[in-house]
């Protein structure tokens, strides 16, 4: 039986796994119900696994009958602190929601586990299954690496996917591949502008941090528009600002924070420095002071071109060639799959899978976000085919 037919035989099971997981969404590093569910399914499959790796992460291993290299397949398991408003029969039973598709990722990887276990005798090497917590933050991938997820046996390649509509114009059932920079670093900054409070009617007696903050926020946009090459992707966004207690009082300080997105390591370092330099210059020029902190989050997600070319050939065995779309412009969202791809060659691909609600396509991280379940078997097939082909050829 062909691999695609084998996956198809488990399609309804993959959907059931996803629906079960969709009802018990959990947030962050510790996902006791989700992890127990996944571990229970792996146990029934007879797949050895280690639990509580990087929070509630699980590392499972399928060893082939023929010695060889080891490839990892990764799925994230965590949800978001959003109350679901889809009215699906299998909607969340908690205050959280799988509003980004991680329940589907987990179900598709469980499907891959089932099919790979069935074909264990054909594997020329090993497949590690990484079920990861906290992709939405603070970053379970890094913690899993620190706790040995890529060791014993040593992982030499990694493959993962994101479903939904992350990749722009990728339609349901289509596969988005990228041969390099695919997603941005996800960094954060906090700036406190310190002035001198006074009565709003007599601003000359104080130093107005609100005016300083306004100048700084406006000037920060010029870092991208006037100091970076126009073809270099970068974003500086201020998303939160706090200051003042009354309409007629100039406060002592204003604090704001934002996110910085970039796809190049040098640009990332440059932005971190220039935000501080520019902020300090403006504040000092207006008789104020600043406190500046920059927090490095997930690094840029960069696919290995050679591995991606190999995966492309595997993908052609699963979907029609015209349904494989090259992602040429990086997505400015972040993904901690980037940590895994910093360690070994691999690729991360997009799988179009979105379902409209009342003729509206709601985006990721929305309370009405929904997925097209008919695409899940395709995701499982891509993971299985990619892993088996890589082991065969390497």
d(CA 91, CA 78) in angstroms, rounded, equals: 16
Give the pLDDT confidence score for residue 356 in this predicted structure: 86
Q: Is the pTM of this model over 0.75?
A: yes
273 with 342, same domain? Answer: no
317 with 176, same domain? Answer: yes
d(CA 131, CA 47) in angstroms, rounded, equals: 13
Quote helix, strand, coil % in the chain, to nearest 5.
Answer: 35, 30, 35
- 26, 41, 76, 78: the catalytic one is 78
12 with 34, same domain? Answer: yes
265 with 307, same domain? Answer: no
Query: Which 3 state secondary structure label does DSSP give 37?
Result: helix
Residue 135 appears among annotated catalytic residues: yes
What is the pLDDT confidence band of residue 299, given thresholds at 50, 70 and 90? very high
Terminal alpha carbon distance of the chain: 24
Residue 87 appears among annotated catalytic residues: no
Q: Is the peptide bond before 29 cis (omega within 30 degrees of 0)?
A: no
Q: Is the pLDDT of residue 168 over 80?
A: no
What is the pLDDT confidence band of residue 358, given thresholds at 50, 70 and 90? confident
The pair of three-digit structure tokens given for residue 319, joined into one six-digit string? 């979907």
Give the pLDDT confidence score for residue 166 in this predicted structure: 87
45-80 pLDDT, tens digit per residue, is 999 999 999 999 999 999 999 999 999 999 999 999
Look over the chain and give the mean of its residue pLDDT values, rounded to a whole number.
Answer: 97
Give the pLDDT confidence score for residue 381 in this predicted structure: 98
60 with 165, same domain? Answer: yes
62 with 162, same domain? Answer: yes
CATH number of domain containing 195: 3.30.70.360
Give the pLDDT confidence score for residue 54 in this predicted structure: 97
d(CA 332, CA 260) in angstroms, rounded, equals: 10
Q: Are 133 and 39 in contact (CB under 8 A)?
A: no
Give the pLDDT confidence score for residue 209 in this predicted structure: 98
Q: Which whole number is the average pLDDT over 354-383?
A: 94
214 with 158, same domain? Answer: no
182-216 pLDDT, tens digit per residue, is 999 999 999 999 999 999 999 999 999 999 999 99
Share of the chain above pLDDT 90, in %: 96
258 with 381, same domain? Answer: no
Burial of 121 (0-12, 13-18, 19+ CB in 10 A): exposed
What is the pLDDT confidence band of residue 251, given thresholds at 50, 70 and 90? very high
What is the pLDDT confidence band of residue 169, given thresholds at 50, 70 and 90? confident
Cβ neighbours for 287, distance < 8 A, ≥ 6 positions apart: 195, 207
Output the furthest CA–CA distance in the chain (Å, rounded): 83
CA neighbours within 13 Å on the CB side: how many for 123?
A: 25
Residue 171 lies in domain:
3-183+300-393
CATH number of domain containing 313: 3.40.630.10
104 with 205, same domain? Answer: no
Q: Are 209 and 253 in contact (CB under 8 A)?
A: yes
- Helices marked H in the chain: 3-9, 11-22, 32-45, 102-118, 140-146, 209-226, 265-285, 305-315, 337-343, 376-393
Q: Which whole number is the average pLDDT over 244-259?
A: 98
208 with 173, same domain? Answer: no
305 with 342, same domain? Answer: yes
Q: Which whole number is the average pLDDT over 76-87?
A: 97
Residue where a domain terminates, one of 283, 298, 313: 298
7 with 141, same domain? Answer: yes
- 135, 156, 208, 335: the catalytic one is 135
Domain count of the chain? Answer: 2
d(CA 1, CA 35) in angstroms, rounded, equals: 32
Give the pLDDT confidence score for residue 357 in this predicted structure: 83
Query: Which 3 state secondary structure label does DSSP give 366?
Result: coil
Q: Is the pLDDT of residue 218 over 90?
A: yes
Give the pLDDT confidence score for residue 167 in this predicted structure: 76
Buried b (16+ CB within 10 A) or exposed e, 326-352: ebeebbbebbbbbbbbeebbbbbbbbb
Which of 162, 168, 164 lies closest to 329 in space, CA to CA?
168
Q: Which whole number is the average pLDDT over 264-288?
A: 98
Residue where a domain terminates, one of 277, 298, 319: 298
Residue where a domain terminates, one of 298, 314, 334: 298
């Amino acid at each position: 039986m062909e691999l695609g037919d084998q996956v198809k035989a488990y399609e309804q099971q993959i959907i059931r796994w996803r629906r079960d997981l969709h009802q018990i969404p959990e947030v962050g590093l510790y996902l006791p119900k989700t992890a127990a569910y996944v571990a229970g399914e792996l146990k029934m499959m007879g797949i050895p696994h280690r639990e509580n790796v990087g929070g509630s992460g699980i590392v499972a291993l399928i060893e082939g009958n023929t010695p060889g290299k080891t490839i990892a397949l990764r799925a994230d398991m965590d949800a978001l602190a959003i109350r679901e408003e889809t009215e699906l029969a299998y909607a969340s039973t908690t205050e959280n929601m799988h509003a980004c598709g991680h329940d589907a990722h987990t179900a598709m990887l469980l499907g891959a586990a089932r099919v790979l276990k069935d074909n264990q005798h054909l594997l020329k090497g090993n497949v590690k299954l990484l079920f990861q917590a906290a992709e939405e933050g603070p970053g379970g991938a890094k913690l899993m690496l620190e706790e040995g997820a890529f060791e014993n046996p040593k992982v030499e390649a990694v493959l993962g996917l994101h479903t939904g509509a992350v990749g722009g114009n990728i339609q349901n059932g289509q596969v988005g591949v990228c041969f390099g920079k695919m997603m941005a670093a996800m960094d954060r900054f906090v700036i406190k502008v310190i002035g001198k409070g006074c009565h709003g009617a007599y601003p000359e007696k104080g130093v107005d941090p609100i005016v300083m903050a306004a100048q700084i926020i406006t000037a920060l946009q010029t870092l991208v528009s006037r100091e970076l090459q126009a073809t270099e992707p970068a974003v500086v966004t201020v998303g939160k600002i706090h200051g003042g207690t009354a309409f007629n009082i100039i406060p002592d300080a204003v604090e704001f924070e934002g996110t910085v997105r970039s796809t190049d390591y040098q640009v990332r370092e440059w932005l971190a420095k220039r935000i501080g330099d520019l902020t300090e210059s403006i504040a000092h020029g207006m008789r104020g002071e600043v406190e500046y902190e920059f927090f490095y989050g997930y690094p840029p997600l960069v696919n290995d071109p050679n591995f991606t070319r190999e995966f492309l050939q595997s993908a052609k065995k699963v979907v029609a060639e015209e349904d494989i779309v090259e992602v040429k412009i990086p997505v400015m969202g972040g993904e901690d799959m980037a940590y895994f791809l910093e360690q070994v060659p691999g690729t991360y691909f997009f799988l179009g899978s979105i379902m409209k609600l009342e003729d509206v396509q709601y985006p990721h991280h929305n309370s009405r976000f929904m997925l097209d379940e008919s695409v899940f078997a395709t995701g499982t097939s891509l993971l299985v085919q990619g892993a088996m082909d890589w082991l065969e050829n390497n």
